[in-house]
């Protein structure tokens, strides 16, 4: 059974804290092994990639076959059905349209002291995108990572995807083709992250790495950060549904299971003000668990980490939501926009009874790469800005340095940085001499 909490219980506060503190990810000590792999790739490049691919993916590579060819991509595309390709095209159009609206504007102005100030945006030059591989990999993740990069103006987008025993989901290659990915390599794991960061003879290094992966991939991303940028370290999926008693229990049950089926460490939470409805949802979950292909995964997730929280008033849900800071938040209530306005911490919010989170995973438009593990308290989902950099501009004239320079000299001297102060003061002195006709 999932956790059952009631806000009216005297023990609610400590019980809720205990629920927040449960560990959903097994602590796997892979640091030493990842360090070895990363250093090996850095030292031996392609040869090390080939050896690790043979060991971990049971697939023999050569330097000539590391890259997936244009012909292979075209062949994979042809094996996809027209309905699947049509769905991908619709998803691309909607995701592209939403992200296009995120492109920031440059700033340029002159202030009252005739100082020119500005800010200009530019894209990261090259990005590596990690895609989990095999036949169960997700083409939707390709679109969610690739499209904002291309909208931002990334010139070189590289995809790495492991092909265990040579297998790959053809729809993944089709998605990469539709999303204008520039290069695709059949490598995975920590070795792929290292190859993207440091480069090999066959793979030029990139400037930033994005995309989810297992513990080895996440650890490798941490280790190469600083050499390259990274997006985030993704944890198990999460959903929190706020629902009143006017909902169909089956709808809410399937919404909860849509995330529970991802991983045994995923988490699904229901907050409601109706005890009878809560019980109906729990019963509906049990029914659907018997039907799902991934029922063992979903069942363990629900039993170990799921929760049903009953509150007196749905407004009481807001502070709980902000503490949980869920990756996905569904507001299946009469006035979802009103509640959404009062929520500070959520990766993505889904408004109303007819907006299941799963719609956002594929076709809604906003990105499905979102902060997990309560990190929505301080971070955001993937977007165009993650693939852009901003550069500030400052232009001072002979007149304006007289206006603001003395204060800068004062601050530099206060910090004991003599050359800082001198580099400004010398210009002020020369400017004074020119004014005096000296």
Which pairing describes strands 229-230 and 238-243: parallel, antiparallel, or unpaired?
unpaired
What pLDDT score was predicted for residue 1? 84
Residue 129: both structure tokens together:
């995108």
Contacts with 44 (C-beta within 8 Å, 6 or more apart), sequence order: none
The whole-angstrom separation of Cα 373 and Cα 375 is 5
CATH class for domain 3-24+235-364? Answer: alpha beta
pTM above 0.85, yes or no: yes
Active site residues: 327-328
CATH class for domain 396-435? Answer: mainly alpha
- Per-residue pLDDT tens, the chain, 438 aa: give them: 899 999 999 999 999 999 999 988 766 789 999 999 999 999 999 999 999 999 999 999 999 999 999 999 999 999 999 999 999 999 999 999 999 999 999 999 999 999 999 999 999 999 999 999 865 679 999 999 999 999 999 999 999 999 999 999 999 999 999 999 999 999 999 999 999 999 999 999 999 999 999 899 999 999 999 999 999 988 899 999 999 999 999 999 999 999 999 999 999 999 999 999 999 999 999 999 999 999 999 999 999 999 999 999 999 999 999 999 999 999 999 999 999 999 999 999 999 999 999 999 999 999 999 999 999 999 999 999 999 999 999 999 999 999 999 999 999 999 999 999 999 999 998 766 665 554
The three-class DSSP label of residue 313 is coil
The whole-angstrom separation of Cα 200 and Cα 46 is 6
Say whether 31-103+125-231 and 3-24+235-364 share the same fold: yes
Contacts with 297 (C-beta within 8 Å, 6 or more apart), sequence order: 260, 261, 262, 263, 264
Give alpha helix (H) positions in 187-341: 189-198, 215-224, 249-260, 275-289, 295-305, 317-324, 336-341
What pLDDT score was predicted for residue 436? 58
What pLDDT score was predicted for residue 342? 98
Which pairing describes strands 229-230 and 116-123: parallel, antiparallel, or unpaired?
unpaired
The three-class DSSP label of residue 408 is helix
What pLDDT score was predicted for residue 136? 66
Domain boundaries, given as residue ranges, for the chain = 3-24+235-364, 31-103+125-231, 396-435
Contacts with 86 (C-beta within 8 Å, 6 or more apart), sequence order: none
Phi-psi map region of 419: left, alpha, beta (phi>0 left; psi -120 to 50 alpha): alpha
CATH class for domain 31-103+125-231? Answer: alpha beta
The whole-angstrom separation of Cα 154 and Cα 121 is 12
Sign of CA dihedral 279, 282, 286, 288: positive
The whole-angstrom separation of Cα 433 and Cα 438 is 5
Calculated CA dihedral for residues 134, 139, 145, 151, nearest 10 degrees: 140
């Amino acid at each position: 059974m999932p956790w059952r909490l009631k806000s009216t219980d005297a023990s609610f506060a400590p019980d809720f804290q205990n629920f927040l503190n449960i560990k959903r990810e097994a602590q796997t000590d892979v640091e030493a092994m990842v360090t070895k792999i990363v250093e090996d790739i850095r030292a031996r490049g392609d040869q090390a990639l080939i050896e690790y691919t043979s060991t971990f993916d049971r697939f023999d590579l050569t330097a000539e076959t590391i890259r997936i060819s244009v012909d292979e991509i075209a062949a994979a595309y042809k094996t996809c059905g027209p309905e699947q390709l049509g769905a991908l095209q619709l998803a691309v159009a909607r995701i592209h349209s939403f992200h296009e609206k995120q492109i920031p504007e440059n700033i340029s102005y002159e202030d009252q002291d005739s100082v020119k100030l500005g800010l200009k945006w530019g894209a990261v030059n090259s990005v590596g995108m990690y895609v989990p591989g095999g036949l169960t990999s997700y083409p939707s993740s390709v679109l969610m990572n690739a499209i904002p990069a291309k909208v931002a103006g990334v010139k070189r987008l590289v995809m790495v995807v492991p092909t265990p025993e040579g297998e790959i989901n053809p729809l993944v290659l089709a998605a990469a083709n539709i999303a204008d990915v520039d290069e695709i390599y059949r490598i995975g794991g920590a070795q792929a992250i290292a190859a993207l960061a440091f480069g090999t003879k066959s793979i030029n290094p990139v400037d930033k790495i994005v995309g989810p992966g297992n513990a080895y991939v996440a650890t490798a991303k941490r280790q190469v950060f600083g050499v390259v940028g990274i997006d985030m370290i993704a944890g198990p999926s999460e959903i929190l549904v706020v629902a009143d008693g006017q909902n169909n229990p089956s709808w809410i049950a399937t919404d909860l299971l849509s995330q529970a089926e991802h991983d045994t460490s995923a988490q699904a939470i229901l907050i409601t003000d109706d005890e009878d409805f809560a019980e109906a949802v729990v019963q509906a979950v049990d029914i659907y668990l018997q039907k799902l292909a991934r029922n063992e995964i979903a069942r363990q997730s629900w039993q170990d980490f799921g929760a049903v929280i009953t509150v007196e008033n749905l407004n009481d849900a807001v502070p709980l939501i902000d503490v949980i800071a869920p990756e996905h938040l569904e507001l299946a209530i009469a006035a979802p926009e009103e509640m959404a306005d009062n929520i500070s911490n959520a990766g993505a919010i889904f408004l109303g009874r007819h907006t299941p989170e799963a719609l956002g995973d594929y076709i809604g438009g906003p990105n499905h790469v979102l902060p997990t593990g309560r990190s929505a308290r301080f971070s955001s989902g993937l977007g165009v800005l993650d693939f852009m950099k901003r550069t500030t501009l400052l232009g001072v004239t002979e007149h304006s340095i007289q206006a603001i320079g003395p204060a800068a000299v004062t601050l530099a001297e206060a910090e004991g940085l003599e050359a800082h102060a001198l580099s400004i003061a010398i210009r002020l002195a020369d400017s004074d001499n020119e004014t005096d006709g000296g």
